[in-house]
Amino acid sequence: MSDTFSIKVENGVAGLSLIPILDMSVAEELLMSFRECTTLSKDVTIDSEGVERISTPCVQVMLAASIDVEANGGKFSIKNTSSGFERGMRDLGLSEYLDNWSKN
């Protein structure tokens, strides 16, 4: 898998494919990717299929992005949740967010 974020728009939804290691060193790049997504569509879906590990700074970026998307009338969702992504969210006590994003 590539070590850069991939963005594409399908059916009016901006899709962001995440990279395997989401740690502090990529948090700013992740933020910029979410900002680009919101210029392309009001709805954003993240694909976490390849995520092996996620750290608090990247989770904070995702939480802020989801709040921004929803505040502007869009939907923030997730697909292909990897075990590493799910474990990271649950370890931080954020299962509720993961569950809500999976339903959208």
Instruction: Give all domains of the chain, ordered by start, each with its CATH number.
Output: 6-103 (3.30.750.24)
pTM of the model: 0.92
Which residue from 31, 40, 32, 35 is spatially nearest to 8, judged by alpha carbons?
Answer: 40
Which residues are CB-contacts of 48 (< 8 A; sequence separation ≥ 6)? 18, 78, 79, 80, 81, 82, 85
* Cα(67)–Cα(11) distance, integer angstroms: 22
Over residues 33-74, the pLDDT tens digits come to 999 999 999 999 999 999 999 999 999 999 999 999 999 999
